[in-house]
Structure 1
């Protein structure tokens, strides 16, 4: 079924939800269609390779990339365009990636993202 950016299908009161649609957003929009706003999804992928979890959110198109290496396993790379974080790549840092995803979705500040990385890693 085809839907618009608010997950509306074109049939009154019917919204898309499932594997590729955001169920919580569909429910909010179905309960209050007048407050429905277009969704702007943040690209995300992950893979497990040779015992390591690789995850990426956002876009790699950036003006600057900063790599931070934690005291323990893995690393984080942050992607900047202007004064905003636009992407994050992590290896073996699964607890951090969704925090960066929220920052990318909110068009978060680059300075705040780097400051957060500094609390969990050592900048390199």
Structure 2
């Protein structure tokens, strides 16, 4: 798990939908992402993390 100031569920509900996405924030930057049964978006988040995307833009 990345060093983070906040972990926020941003989409889906594991119990209801069977998938979910969560993002990790450190300062004003996206620093991590967790996806469960949502593989199609993991590469988008990976790209944003490498590019240093702001938290606001990531949301």
Higher strand share: 2
Partner of 2:48: 103
Structure 1 counterpart of 2:9, from 67, 86, 89: 67
Q: Which runs of 5+ in 2 are unaligned?
A: none
Cα distance between partner residues in 2 of 1:81 and 1:70: 22
Moved over 6 A (4+): none
Higher helix share: 2
With CA pairs under 8 Å and 6+ residues apart, which has the higher RCO, 1 or 2? 2
Report how many residues are paired: 56
Cα distance between partner residues in 1 of 2:29 and 2:11: 21
Q: Which has the larger radius of gyration?
A: 1
Normalised to the residue count of structure 1, the TM-score between the two structures is: 0.42
SS at match of 1:60: coil
**What is the alpha-carbon root mean square deviation over aligned residues?**
1.6
